Structure 1
Amino acid sequence: MSRLRTPVGSHDHILGPVDAPVILVEYGDFQCPFCGQAYEEVNKVLASMGDQLRYVFRHFPLTQAHPYALQAAEAAEAADGQGKFWEMHGMLYENQQALDPESLLAYAQKLGLDMERFTREVSEHRYLERIRRDFMGGVRSGVSGTPGFFINGARYQGDFSASSLITVLQGGGIESPSYF
């Protein structure tokens, strides 16, 4: 079974309490239609699990199949630089059909971001190295497609419907490694 090679830490995008008994890590691609479906399901899981779950999102843009995935990841990171990662995360998944540069600018404006800063950071690829670190961490952990899920550090390859995920998560995950 594949294991998560990069432990969850302060470098991650995290929702939920630090002391949650279960950690769900997702490697995702904003243009991947399966990730779009998973986004809806993960939102249901978050609502159901509450403080019992810590959710982590990491970038895994599949640029060969999804030409706007990397730009979307960079836009999410530029939004994070202004404290709006999760808002941009949601906007990108809810608008997967429109991830071209003009649409990304429109989303940033809608979120009230400093547009000069946003445009500069995206055009300079300021967050590209961070995205690459996420991606390579996924590769080292055995991720080859998206979405890629890990529950308490162990690779989860089952159905990612909310009901299936909740059943596994409420059971304490696949296993509970001591390093989390």
Structure 2
Amino acid sequence: MKTPFASMSDDLTNENSHFNRLLILPSQRDHYQGFLNASVVLVEYGHYQCPQCKEVHQLIQEVHQNFSARFPDENWISFVFRHFIDEHSVYPQAQKAAETVEAAAAQGQFWQMHNMLFTHQEALGNGYLVEYANRLELDICQFLQDLSQQVHVDRINQDIEGGLESGVTTAPALFVNGIRYQDRWNFEDLMAVIIAAANSAP
């Protein structure tokens, strides 16, 4: 699908590098917004305690809002979030936050909890996580059981392993139509890469 940005046809950089390609393609198992067959699919590997991941979260929201405002009836862009927590992470609450969002996902509230955790990134202690679950009116007994039994750890580990296969070593990492984003984390640079990807989409 071509976009109205035909004048901007810059190629994505480093396309031929193995470690700049997404090896685990987006699928129905993912948490995603939009449609998986969109012209541009963004896949982020991140976690909820990382300050730069919060900045990328805000940046992607800005990009998504820009596209939605300009092309409200078009299927230009979608977004996939995958967990990535370094085994030597200096963020002690990242794992529990990931399990929290997956417990919310089991009750149909992934994106609501995803946004909640980034909004309140400075408060990810266990008591706060339960408070956020209460705010979303989750079944607290089921939520706490999922956390205590680590029901969703395998799912989180699958995301991490997939990221490692694609050369991800730390969060955040972003792929645009399967190619690793290497530019600066700002609106202008990301939009330029997205537009180039949209123009080269079939």
TM-score computed with the length of structure 2 as normaliser: 0.83
Name the amino acid aligned to 2:22: L
Is the aligned partner of 1:55 residue 2:48?
Answer: no
Choose between structure 1 and 2 for higher RCO, CA contacts under 8 A separated by at least 6 residues. 2
Q: Between 4-13 and 55-64, report the one with greater CA deviation.
A: 55-64
From 98, 107, 119, give the equivalent of 1:73.
98
Deviation at 1:65, TM superposition (A): 1.2
The aligned counterpart of 2:141 is: 116
Q: Residue deviations 1:118-148, cap 9 Å, x none?
A: 0000111100000000001001101111110
Q: Which residue of 1 aligns with 2:175?
A: 150
User: Matches of 2:119 and 2:52 in 1, distance apart?
Assistant: 13
AA of the residue aligned to 2:63: V
CA distance in 1: counterparts of 2:141 and 2:153, whole angstroms? 18
5+ residue gaps, structure 1: none
What is the root-mean-square deviation of aligned Cα atoms in Å? 1.6
Which whole-Å CA distance do the structure 2 matches of 1:110 and 1:166 have between them? Answer: 34
Q: Closer, same or farther in 2 for the Cα pair 1:29/1:85, shift >3 Å?
A: same
1:169 to 175, 184, 194: 194
Q: Spell out the pairing of 1:62-141 with structure 2 (5 A cutoff).
A: 62=86, 64-141=89-166
Q: Which one of 7, 19, 25 corresponds to residue 7 of structure 1?
A: 25
1:95-138 per-position Cα deviation (integer Å, ceiling 9, x unaligned): 11111111100000011100000000011110000000000100
In the alignment of these two chains, the number of paired residues is 177
Runs of 4+ residues deviating >6 angstroms? none
Q: Bigger radius of gyration, 1 or 2?
A: 2
Structure 2 residue ranges without an equivalent (≥5): 1-16, 69-74
Secondary structure of the residue aligned to 1:171 is helix
**Identical positions, percent:** 37
